A and B are shown apart, each in its own frame.
Chain A
Amino acid sequence: MKITLNVWRQSSPQAAGAFVKYDVDGVSADMSMLEMLDVLNDRLESKGEAPIAFDHDCREGICGSCGFMINGVAHGPEKEITVCQTHMRSFKDGDELTLEPWRAMAFPVMRDLMVDRSAFDRIIQAGGYVSVRTGSAPEANATPVMKEHADMAFEAAACIGCGACVAACPNAAAMLFTSAKVSHLGLLPQGAPERDKRALDMVAQMDKEGFGHCTNHGECEAVCPKGISVNFIARMNRDLLKATLRSTR
């Protein structure tokens, strides 16, 4: 196949970026999107040109490193999949694809398709944990957990922190990401004592980072590679309301 790419090239955070066109021939349907970029990058490197920078690591759709927009859709056209698992058989010979980085004020572009998502780490640092020291844990089976709750907690915990939800949201909100962690821990008895504080602190940090607010578009769920439900946002809103009313701050 021959694919034409319009790739956002930006040499540094301060530099002005622009789309650059590349024709890539000899693309196999069995290649992943990132392998196609590897092939292009090898060609660029051989000519001494700077390869296209993009974050990636496991290439199994679990580490959450990769992600960019393909023709305006976060992680591209396939459902519940990251760009590293998107294969070129999703496209056809002669297709023209526009690749651009996540666009959000809280995710500044570092280079080309690579953005700085450290705001997500700071949201977790604000309260996305159970305060338990190593060694102070009780016997694991001492606290039974309703299977339905454990399963729902797992659904929320499956978030890979890729940032697609923010990129897809017209408001660049981080509600799906934040609510997934608030719900995961809030659903478990181990996370119950800090449930109020966690919701308040994580949402406050989210606002501080410059993410927008949720206006119920549902774009986040549509692009989430792990299929995390917007119901968790509703759940976090309830937690936040209750926590605000009960708060002694």
Chain B
Amino acid sequence: MTLDGKCPSGPIETAWDTHRFNMKLVNPANRRKYNVLVVGTGLAGAACAATLGELGFNVQAFCYQDSARRAHSIAAQGGINAAKNYQNDGDSVHRLFYDTVKGGDYRSREANVHRLAQISVNIIDQAVAQGVPFAREYGGLLDNRSFGGAQVARTFYARGQTGQQLLLGAYSALSRQVHAGTVKLHTRTEMLDLVVIDGRARGIITRNLATGALESWIGDAVVLATGGYGNVFFLSTNAMGCNVTATYKAYKKGALFANPCYTQIHPTCIPVSGGYQSKLTLMSESLRNDGRVWVPKSAADATKDPSTLPEDQRDYYLERRYPSFGNLVPRDVASRNAKTVCDEGRGVGHEVDGQRRAVYLDFRDAIQRVGKSTIEARYGNLFHMYTKITGENPYESPMRIYPAIHYTMGGLWVDYNLMSNIEGLFVLGEANFSDHGANRLGASALMQGLADGYFVAPPTISDYLARVGWGSKITAEHEGFKAALGETNDRIQKLLNIKGKRPVDSFHRELGNVMWDKCGMSRTKEGLEEALKRIPEIRAEFWENVNVPGENKGVNQSLERAGRVADFLEFGELMCLDALERAESCGGHFREESQTEDGEALRDDVNFCHTAAWEFKGVETAPTLHKEALTFEHVKLTQRSYK
């Protein structure tokens, strides 16, 4: 199989415009004859479903939550980037493009990223027109801030709730189309399989989470906007329901899964407090602007009251190792260093499973310098949240933080049109692999989700539909649907009939521990090989000893979780395999064997300047690796340095 990214030729600045002109259109009178299935109603899914509905296509939209307004896009705090250059500080489309390619550590496609930067400005216009209440200056114009170490202020924000406000904007556009009758919304409905007929994605199988009913849906195109797979680690900042099932089932039906080992770890999360922990809460990394990160110099001081430790007993390890960037080093660097000092036994806070996994983020000096009221004005809501969760007062004692899984850059492989290698299967937002390379910049996830949903996928899907035409005679009686429905039902019955001794979550936690230890912040050949041996064992025990109570009738949340965990137990193996294969370090993927003399990530552009796309060959059979070479014509490959 040769992977063709289908990037348009010609100058990158005009590539998208030229491409749009070359795409086919569907006559307005014919649009209602096409059915498009959109799975997921986060930023990408809601935006795409609403836009296709506005164009006049027949859209069926699905989400597992009880309302389309709840997808996890809602939790994004910081903001959304756009190359508006409202601050007159030298920003431009080219600079946003450049920063994103470099930030992704040269593992993304230039053409895709350039288009993203171009479209970023339209997103802000669209959101403002919908009534998204972005922060404004006293003159009534939009405010911006600098985010994630960017040298320009290009981030638009709505306090710490930018994701919520953008999602509610997309949800309102979607609701308008539901009212207009162009979009039919199916909430509490989870996709459990993809139906591929004659090489084309032709439908999905869903389970109604309220009744347990399995249903077949026929479409002329299928859009997956189902988010990332961070919950393979069990503990992450993702919502509890986030899962890999939709994309993994598509992978099992032939869609290639690209760069699954690229995961992003956020350095400033509230640490684990006990074995019962269900998820991790992110604290905005803006805290690092004023907070100083440290641990005791001696492991013996780990349990002492931090305020009693004199200056010479503290190790401000980021300031020590990175004098020019200090506490503001990028996410991956800050995260790895926290792990290193905790591995040395110098971690602080609660002991969980025999280890203290937290470092201090201290505002004492900042409070002395600018006063408590200034710090309160800057971070009051975050301090409040911290107090609510930990019961501690960060104005008086330092916060404790630790890295957590936050975002996954890998996803289903797509071409420039966001279509996977299966004809008619489009993949949007975090669910695809396309724009962030090996590391995503802050405030770029919202940008990509909305770019894909509002502006990229609607014309490329229209083009596809125009080319394949309408009037196909496929019904739910087709063998492809009957087989997928049968398999889905069998799997559910199998899960319900095991009646073993262990609850579903115990397997998820066990898998998560393996993933975090062996395929988390830093990875080694030995560790990954161990994980590849261990995961099939956990999976085997799961299928023998899990207890899924109840039946497939009405609400059964154990059954929902069991199905998702079963897929994670296969997917985790694919991630470890990809991490093992990629023997270089790049972005969020740090292989201990590939580092510079002073311990920084070392890329290997000779052997690994490619996208790794995996083809499913069977659960117990190794998948086949396909490579898409990456070429850089506009951004020169350099090694990142933050010394």
Task: List the interface of chain A (C-beta within 8 A of B).
Answer: 11-12, 28-32, 34-36, 38-39, 41-42, 44-46, 48-51, 53, 55-60, 62-65, 78, 81, 85, 87, 89, 110-111, 114, 116-118, 120-121, 124-141, 143-147, 150-151, 153-154, 157-158, 160-161, 184-185, 188, 190-191
Stretch at the interface among B288-296, B333-341, B554-562, B568-576: B554-562
The interface residues of chain A lying within 8 Å CB-to-CB of B549 are 44-45, 48-51
B187 is an interface residue with CB less than 8 A from chain A: yes
Q: Which residue, A117, A131, A136, A150, has most C-beta atoms of chain B within 10 A?
A: A150
Closest 9 CB pairs of A and B: A144-B140, A137-B129, A129-B172, A45-B503, A154-B133, A137-B125, A30-B273, A140-B128, A57-B239
Within 8 A of A (CB), among B130-181: 130-131, 133-142, 158-159, 161, 164-165, 168, 171-173, 175-176, 178-179
Check B547–A153 contact: CB distance below 8 A: no
Check A63–B130 contact: CB distance below 8 A: no
Check A117–B67 contact: CB distance below 8 A: yes
The interface residues of chain A lying within 8 Å CB-to-CB of B172 are 124, 128-130
* Minimum distance in angstroms from B434 CB to a CB of chain A: 20
A141 to B502, CA, bound (A): 57
* Minimum distance in angstroms from A236 CB to a CB of chain B: 16
Check B70–A57 contact: CB distance below 8 A: yes
Beta-carbon nearest neighbor of A186 in chain B:
B131
Check A60–B281 contact: CB distance below 8 A: yes
A32 to B128, CA, bound (A): 36
Check A62–B164 contact: CB distance below 8 A: yes
A109 to B358, CA, bound (A): 41
The interface residues of chain A lying within 8 Å CB-to-CB of B277 are 35
Check B70–A63 contact: CB distance below 8 A: yes
* Minimum distance in angstroms from A187 CB to a CB of chain B: 9
Beta-carbon nearest neighbor of A201 in chain B:
B179
Check A110/B278 contact, CB under 8 A, given A58-B75, A144-B140, A147-B137: no
* Minimum distance in angstroms from A214 CB to a CB of chain B: 23
A57 to B65, CA, bound (A): 8
B114 is an interface residue with CB less than 8 A from chain A: no
Within 8 A of A (CB), among B115-133: 122, 124-131, 133
Check B72–A63 contact: CB distance below 8 A: yes
* Minimum distance in angstroms from A101 CB to a CB of chain B: 12
Check A141–B86 contact: CB distance below 8 A: yes
Check A132–B505 contact: CB distance below 8 A: no
Q: Which residue, B122, B159, B388, has most C-beta atoms of chain A within 10 A?
A: B388
Beta-carbon nearest neighbor of B237 in chain A:
A60
* Minimum distance in angstroms from A21 CB to a CB of chain B: 19
Within 8 A of A (CB), among B299-326: none
A172 to B538, CA, bound (A): 48
A125 to B458, CA, bound (A): 22
Check A48–B389 contact: CB distance below 8 A: no
The interface residues of chain B lying within 8 Å CB-to-CB of A89 are 391
The interface residues of chain A lying within 8 Å CB-to-CB of B454 are 134-135
Q: From A118, A136, A184, give the contact of B187 (CB < 8 A).
A: A118
Check A144/B66 contact, CB under 8 A, given A11-B554, A30-B390, A87-B389: no
Beta-carbon nearest neighbor of B499 in chain A:
A48
Beta-carbon nearest neighbor of A48 in chain B:
B549
* Minimum distance in angstroms from B268 CB to a CB of chain A: 14
The interface residues of chain B lying within 8 Å CB-to-CB of A35 are 276-278
Check B278–A120 contact: CB distance below 8 A: no
Check A42/B503 contact, CB under 8 A, given A64-B69, A153-B133: yes
Beta-carbon nearest neighbor of A117 in chain B:
B66
B84 is an interface residue with CB less than 8 A from chain A: yes
A28 to B350, CA, bound (A): 12
The interface residues of chain B lying within 8 Å CB-to-CB of A58 are 70, 72, 74-75, 239-240
Check A46/B501 contact, CB under 8 A, given A134-B54, A138-B129, A154-B133: yes
Could you write out 12 A-B pairs with CB less than 8 Å apart? Answer: A11-B554, A31-B276, A46-B547, A60-B279, A63-B71, A121-B67, A130-B131, A140-B128, A141-B86, A141-B142, A144-B141, A190-B128
Q: From B161, B240, B458, give the contact of A57 (CB < 8 A).
A: B240
Beta-carbon nearest neighbor of B178 in chain A:
A125
Q: From A63, A120, A130, A139, give the contact of B125 (CB < 8 A).
A: A139
Q: Which residue, A36, A49, A137, has most C-beta atoms of chain B within 10 A?
A: A137
B256 is an interface residue with CB less than 8 A from chain A: no
A146 to B136, CA, bound (A): 8
A39 to B506, CA, bound (A): 11
A135 to B127, CA, bound (A): 11
A191 to B555, CA, bound (A): 39
A27 to B322, CA, bound (A): 42
